[in-house]
Chains A and B, each alone.
Chain A
Amino acid sequence: MPKVAIVKRELSKTVATVAKVLVILLGLLIAIALTSIITGASMELAGITLLQGFLNLNVFVYISTLLPIAVGLSTAFSASAWNLGAEGQLVIGAVGATFIALYTPFGRQEVVAPLMALLFASFLGALWALPAALLKMTRGINEALTTLLMNFIAYHMTNYLVKGPWRGRAVYGYPTTDMIPVQARIPTVPGYSFSWYVVVICVVIALLMQLFLYRTKVGIALRALGSSPRFVELAGISSKRLFLIAFLLSGALAGFAGGVKVLVYHGKLVEGPIVGSGYGFTAIMLSWLGGLNPLLLIPASYYTAALYILSFGLQIGSAAVGDALANAIVGSLLAFILLADFLTKYRLVIRWS
């Protein structure tokens, strides 16, 4: 009777990276194969659609939302702070940005308005992450579950706002607010709904976070918190404070992304699930795809954005099947990444006795 055991192993960083890249390429092949099988299109056509996804400037629409969230989350996950609430923090950030733009005197001042809106959005995002962090620190309540539930509270709160007190006067009964003033909007690239300013800010955030995590004492302690909390305490740094910092940073960056969505993309507040549209959850997987490394997150977010565009390309044939297919592709790709993680961290030992 053979006995199978699972044993930990350490692979060099290069091998682990190569494995991940292989999985990512494999993911592209799966995407093309599944597409052509299900829709009946030729492999070539599917491949071209995918290639167009990578060359389409619209990738920046997704990058400018996904990258900041994923950078924040990778900080949280490095510190073993399981913040699953990025979706809710994003939505609340959008609410904050709308509030500044529509209901405060700042809303009509150029430059000041978008800056204030983004700051307030980040602040609200961090605030929305705070209860879960405090409950974990003081009562030991599982933060993954509380943050998950906070998402739904944020959805319903936003829905309430746009259907109730904040419903616009010029929207013919649709559940949205009025458009925010032009002064508060961030100028976009003509013909596209993204802004170079925001893209640059997002990349700068990723670079700064890389410096913070790998070059400062707090950042290094933060990364150590995930693997050895006791060691961090012995080094004289409060592990609770680190946990809180990681949590609030991830909340603030998700809130920032929400602000960006309103100021650049929507131009008004819409229903919660539409503002969020699952970015918060995608970003969780994205931060894992990038190995929790802010620098690697830049190419990883580009790849994810291209897959998003592929999913819209697929929807042209039949929207329902296209959307289902996109989910199946992304889901199986993520499962493969988890599998690759397993194969690089553990090995199977088969013993014949």
Chain B
Amino acid sequence: MLVEVLKIATDPLVVALVLWVLGNIVVERSGVINLALDGIITIGIAVAFVSTQYFGYFIGLLITIVTSLAFATMFMIFINIMHTYHVLTGLALNILFYGLSALIGLRLQKSPVLATLTLSPVLLALVSILAVLFTWFILYKTSIGIAIRACGFNPRASEHLGIKVWRTRFLASTIGYTLAGIGSYIYATVYRGGWVQYTGRGYGFLAITLAMASTWHPLLSYPISLVFGYLYTSIYALQLLHGIHPEIVNAIPYVASIAIVTIVYSTPLHKKLAAPRALGEVYFKEERAA
């Protein structure tokens, strides 16, 4: 049992997934429905793959984070300055980002493979655990985190308390997408070591699902990501041993996520695990015209 858990916790795919989920939690806690995550992950993976071929592993990491942040800022400009609907913006930018990621990967790659970076399993597990603790600390123990959660709960009231909602959301996206960028980098260089068109598409939606399943709480997200990481990595073993069809295993995270949220909302648990209630609300601050 313990060996199994260790194996999952040190699996680079699971580590990347944990980072994506955490990144999504920070952004969605600030009240933004983060559908653009999927596109930015796809682009992050393509950039990590290409830039590592040109500049080596360390500079590659930096470039991946910077590009993820740049595209996240674009997303935030649409939502916070142009007041567009969150889900529309996310879906529209996703399509653009898929296209860009493929153009970057196809046009700039030197070869279709990349020597995978071998990191010690302990380091990988440490990265994910530290990221979980860091996110939890930021969100629940600092004034920045309280501001972020307030924006996700009721932006209007937080503005009255002197929190600058736009600024807080930009800050949340910076923290969140730094984590997500590191996740994309780990996926591309440590786990995958190669790239084909649209590698990574769909993981963003999975991360959104897992964040919802953990009721947007960083500490809960870790065990939940491990469980689904286990299901994903042992999909064929499950079929051989127990005769469970792979497609059913694939559907489990989505069904479970809806079930968990329904249970939490139907019981007094929702007082403890409050979800960001203003998620997806377009927040417009009326300003006096000059």
List the interface of chain A (C-beta within 8 A of B). Answer: 3, 5-8, 38, 82, 84, 131, 135, 139-142, 144-146, 148-150, 152-153, 156-157, 159-160, 163-164, 281, 284-285, 288, 320-321, 323-332, 334-335, 337-339, 341-342, 345-346, 349-351
Q: Provide 22 A-B residue pairs closer than 8 Å at the C-beta atoms, listed in order of the A residue.
A: A5-B287, A7-B289, A82-B87, A82-B280, A131-B258, A141-B262, A145-B279, A146-B261, A148-B35, A148-B208, A149-B209, A149-B212, A152-B254, A156-B250, A157-B251, A160-B247, A164-B247, A284-B88, A334-B95, A338-B84, A341-B84, A345-B83
Q: How far is the CA of A38 from the CA of B102 in the complex (A)?
A: 12
Chain B residues with CB under 8 Å of A38's CB are 103
Chain A residues with CB under 8 Å of B290's CB are 3, 5, 349-351
Residue from the list B95, B106, B257 in contact with A320, Cβ < 8 A: B106
Contact A285 B197 (CB under 8 A): no
Contact B255 A153 (CB under 8 A): yes
Q: How far is the CA of A150 from the CA of B257 in the complex (A)?
A: 10
Contact B95 A160 (CB under 8 A): no
Contact B289 A285 (CB under 8 A): no
Contact A145 B208 (CB under 8 A): yes
Chain B residues with CB under 8 Å of A148's CB are 35, 205, 208
Q: How far is the CA of A339 from the CA of B266 in the complex (A)?
A: 39
Chain A residues with CB under 8 Å of B205's CB are 148, 152
Contact A160-B245, Cβ < 8 Å, known A38-B103, A148-B205, A349-B289? yes
- Of all chain A residues, the one with the shortest Cβ separation from B105 is A324
**From residue B289, how far is it (CB to closest CB) to chain A in Å?**
5
Q: How far is the CA of A144 from the CA of B280 in the complex (A)?
A: 9
Residue from the list A5, A135, A330 in contact with B289, Cβ < 8 A: A5
Residue from the list B92, B102, B287 in contact with A338, Cβ < 8 A: B92
- Of all chain A residues, the one with the shortest Cβ separation from B279 is A142
Tell yes or no: B57 within 8 A of A by CB.
Answer: no
Tell yes or no: B230 within 8 A of A by CB.
Answer: no
Contact B262 A327 (CB under 8 A): no
Interface of A is mostly: helix
Contact A145 B33 (CB under 8 A): yes
Q: How far is the CA of A156 from the CA of B249 in the complex (A)?
A: 9
What interface size band does chain B fall in? 35 or more
Residue from the list A146, A320, A351 in contact with B258, Cβ < 8 A: A146
Q: How far is the CA of A22 from the CA of B4 in the complex (A)?
A: 59
- Of all chain A residues, the one with the shortest Cβ separation from B87 is A144
CB proximity to A under 8 Å, residues B116-170: none
**From residue A56, how far is it (CB to closest CB) to chain B in Å?**
22
Tell yes or no: B171 within 8 A of A by CB.
Answer: no
Residue from the list B106, B287, B288 in contact with A324, Cβ < 8 A: B106
Q: How far is the CA of A326 from the CA of B103 in the complex (A)?
A: 11
CB proximity to A under 8 Å, residues B190-219: 197, 205, 208-209, 212
- Of all chain B residues, the one with the shortest Cβ separation from A139 is B265
Chain A residues with CB under 8 Å of B107's CB are 321
Contact A342-B82, Cβ < 8 Å, known A84-B87, A146-B258? yes
**From residue B95, how far is it (CB to closest CB) to chain A in Å?**
4
Contact A160-B106, Cβ < 8 Å, known A5-B290, A6-B287, A285-B88? no
0/1 string, B89-107, CB within 8 A of A gives 1: 1011111111111110011
Q: How far is the CA of A295 from the CA of B135 in the complex (A)?
A: 48
**From residue B107, how far is it (CB to closest CB) to chain A in Å?**
8
**From residue B165, how far is it (CB to closest CB) to chain A in Å?**
13
Residue from the list B88, B89, B99 in contact with A329, Cβ < 8 A: B99
